Structure 1
Amino acid sequence: MQHTPVTVVTGGSRGIGAAISARLAEDGHDVVIGYRSDEAAAEKTAESVRAAGRRCVTVQVDTAAEADVERLFDTAAERLGPVTGLVNNAGVSGPVGPLAEADAEGMRRALEVNVLGYLLCARRAVRDMTANGGGAIVNISSVAATLGSPGEYVHYAAAKGAVDTLTVGLSKEVAADGIRVNAVAPGVIWTEFHADPQRPAKLASGIPMGRSGRPEEIAGAVSWLLSDDASYTTGTVLKVSGGR
């Protein structure tokens, strides 16, 4: 593996993705930020990466579109070198509320981004990493996968359950190729992800630690899983959720 890690972070422009991008830069990674629509936010995050002395490229991408994913990784390789790390983070919640009231198109889009998008990015990453001596993938899951999110977004929880299964299965498939695959399952985190901006505050009393988490607390876990300190860790879903 080359001396400087090159890591692709999908959904890297805001929230947890932005925190991950900044933390990886601090820990010595060159970063490729994949973003869906907010170019200004992506560039702001890129500036934080460069401020840490690392190289950064931003790429507009719909991770559910195969051609976009190929272009994302092609650009990464051309601009920064062989990709050694992938953080599958791009996600959407889809409809919020009981399943009986959810619209099919919203659920379809959520499954495409949260499951197919992860599969397409992981597939390309594995191809590149196999050719270049190995690497590491971290999938961003959610404690929703085990809690089920009743009354909020059961379809999203189901998608994250698929992410956990992807993590376990792929880790076994590519371990002999020098590729580690793990996941981080955040609990309730203070980001713009929530339809109700005050949701993290409202849910704090139901969390054993009594508070919602910060994006930086997820970023630390991701950086560890990508690091040599986690060299014997694969197929693991690490909950970072305040005890939920």
Structure 2
Amino acid sequence: MANEFNSCKKTGTDLKKCAKCHTTFYCSRDCQKVDWKVHKKVCNPNSQNNLSDKIGPSNVTHNNTQEPSRTRSLDQPISKPYTRLHDRKWLHDRPEKDVYRLLIDCYRMRMEDKCKIDGRAEAGSVQAGASNLEQSFRRLLHVAEAKPDLLPPWWDDGKKEACVKLVRRSGGEDGGGWSCLSRAATKEEIIEHYGNPQFPMHLRLFGEQIFGYTPGSQGNGAQVIELMMMAMEAPGARPTMFGHFTLL
């Protein structure tokens, strides 16, 4: 799938990303500088206080994340999410309904990523035009169940059905509920819903722990988690600064 540069409209697969937000593509450093007056209005709010979806040069400032992260739409926030991902306990010690919500959104975002980043829709997903979306979601649950300790200790067949039941309730007659599988979940929508610019990364890294890879990557999630732990959650972690005009 070709990427498009905002200013000169050049297309192709060899464009470079803005290293600050990782969402805008450029054909050269000069083009990036020309576009900066416009792009900085979008780039700055999304990256000033948070690392991007991928580890890379950017202007970021982080404090030691010992307190629970500020997250909307969940009953209970957690502290040190990257440490929990590293320990394969990201879903542990959460309320049951939060676990269901996160499993559903991990699936929804993964289906969207496979379509937009990999350039192909997953069979059985809404992006592929499937109607029986529940079967596709159950596959994620089945694979997750096969991974030791990835799901909370209380997880069993009854909890699985309660999770699927939440999907059905969210669907309703018009499919308008947030947790409805027929509603695609973009990165921007996830950030807005949870109020946390890092939340798409959390979902993607957890999805990699389930399936072994992340769409558009070669399965380097473990390295990303360790870097984020060192940068943000290690005792005495220091703010990190990088040059924002470096292209990846």
User: Normalised by the shorter chain, which TM-score bucket?
Assistant: under 0.3
Whose radius of gyration is greater, 1 or 2?
Answer: 2
TM-score (normalised: structure 2): 0.26
TM-score (normalised: structure 1): 0.27
Return the structure number with greater strand share: 1
Return the structure number with greater helix share: 1
Name which structure has the greater RCO, CA cutoff 8 Å, separation 6+. Answer: 2
